[in-house]
Amino acid sequence: MSVEVETPAAVARDPRRPDPRPLPLVFERSGEGKIGYSLPPLDVPDTIGIPEALCRAEVAGETQISEVDVARHFTRLSQRNFSIDQGLYPLGSCTMKHNPRTNEEMARLPGFAAAHPLAPEALSQGTLELAWLLERALAELTGLPRVTLQPSAGAQGELAGILLVRKALERTGRARKTVLIPDSAHGTNPASAHFAGYTVRELKSNPRGTIDLDVLEKAMTDDVAALMLTVPNTLGIFEDKILDIARIVHAKGGYLYCDGANFNAYVGVAKPGLMGIDVMHMNLHKTFSTPHGGGGPGSGPVAVTQSLVPYLPRPTVERRADGTFFLDYDRPESIGRLRTFLGNYGMFVRALSYIAAYGNRIGEVARGAVLNANYIRAGLSGVYHLKYDGPSMHEVVFSDKKQSELGVSNVDIAKRLMDYGFHPPTMSFPLIVHGALMIEPTETEGKPVLDAFIKAMREIARECEESPDLVRGAPHTTPVKRVDEVGAARNLVLRWRP
Ligand SMILES: *Cc1c(COP(=O)(O)O)cnc(C)c1O
User: Would you list the DSSP string of 152-207?
Assistant: SSHHHHHHHHHHHHHHHHHHTT----EEEEETTS-THHHHHHHHTTPEEEEEPP-T
Distance CA(335)–CA(162), nearest Å, equals 11
β-strand partners of 424: none
pLDDT at 157: 98
pLDDT at 1: 41
- What is the 8-class DSSP label of residue 262? G
Ligand 1 pocket: which of 89, 91, 186 to mutate (most atoms <8 Å of CB)? 186
Answer whether 298 contacts ligand 1 (Cβ < 6 A): yes
Nearest-CA residue for atom 15 of ligand 1: 93
pLDDT tens digits, the chain, 498 residues: what are they?
444 444 444 444 455 555 667 788 899 999 999 988 888 888 988 888 888 888 888 888 888 999 999 999 999 888 888 889 999 999 999 999 999 999 999 999 999 999 999 999 999 999 999 999 999 999 999 999 999 999 999 999 999 999 999 999 999 999 999 999 999 999 999 999 999 999 999 999 999 999 999 999 999 999 999 999 999 999 999 999 999 999 999 999 999 999 999 999 999 999 999 999 999 999 999 999 999 866 568 999 999 999 999 999 999 999 999 999 999 999 999 999 999 999 999 999 999 999 999 999 999 999 999 999 999 999 999 999 999 998 999 999 999 999 999 999 999 999 999 999 999 999 989 999 999 999 999 999 999 999 999 999 999 999 999 999 999 999 998 888 898 889 989 998 888 887
How many A from CA of 260 to the centre of ligand 1? 8
Answer whether 283 contacts ligand 1 (Cβ < 6 A): yes
Answer whether 155 contacts ligand 1 (Cβ < 6 A): yes
Query: Cα 17 to chain center, whole Å?
Result: 28
Report long-range pairs for 315-322 (Cβ below 8 Å, ≥24 apart): 316/146, 316/148, 317/128, 317/131, 317/132, 317/135, 317/149, 317/342, 318/132, 319/132
- Buried b / exposed e over 323-340, threshold 16 CB at 10 Å, is eebbbeeebeebbeebee
The third-level CATH classification (topology) of the domain covering 115-361 is Aspartate Aminotransferase; domain 2 (3.40.640)
pLDDT at 9: 43
User: Please, are residues 298 and 168 in contact by the beta-carbon 8 Å criterion?
Assistant: no
Distance CA(421)–CA(168), nearest Å, equals 50
Domain boundaries, the chain: 1-14+25-98+364-498, 115-361
Q: What is the CA radius of gyration of the chain?
A: 26
Nearest-CA residue for atom 14 of ligand 1: 261
Q: Which amino acid is at 160?
A: A
225 phi and psi, to 5 degrees? -75, -40
- The angle that helices 345-358 and 125-142 make with each other, rounded to 10 degrees, is 60
Ligand 1 pocket: which of 230, 257, 259, 439 to mutate (most atoms <8 Å of CB)? 259
How many A from CA of 306 to the centre of ligand 1? 25
How many A from CA of 232 to the centre of ligand 1? 13
β-strand partners of 255: 226
Q: Which atom of ligand 1 is nearest to the CA of 157?
A: 9
Closest CA to 424 of 153, 22, 87, 78: 87
Answer whether 186 contacts ligand 1 (Cβ < 6 A): yes
State the architecture of 1-14+25-98+364-498 in CATH terms. Alpha-Beta Complex (3.90)
Q: Any residues with CB less than 8 A from the CB of 303 and at least 6 apart, and which?
A: 138, 139, 142, 144, 146, 147, 260, 272, 273, 279, 280, 281, 282
Sign of CA dihedral 21, 27, 32, 37: positive
How many A from CA of 153 to the centre of ligand 1? 8
Ligand 1 pocket: which of 152, 162, 188, 286 to mutate (most atoms <8 Å of CB)? 188
How many A from CA of 240 to the centre of ligand 1? 22
Q: Any residues with CB less than 8 A from the CB of 83 and at least 6 apart, and which?
A: 89, 295
pLDDT at 218: 98
Answer whether 153 contacts ligand 1 (Cβ < 6 A): yes
Give the tens place of pLDDT for each residue, 471-482: 999 999 888 889
Answer whether 161 contacts ligand 1 (Cβ < 6 A): no
Q: Any residues with CB less than 8 A from the CB of 103 and at least 6 apart, and which?
A: 289, 290, 349, 350, 351, 353, 354
- Buried b / exposed e over 429-459, threshold 16 CB at 10 Å, is bbebbebbbbbbbbbbbeeebbebbbebbee
Q: Any residues with CB less than 8 A from the CB of 139 and at least 6 apart, and which?
A: 145, 146, 147, 303
How many A from CA of 189 to the centre of ligand 1? 9
pTM above 0.75, yes or no: yes
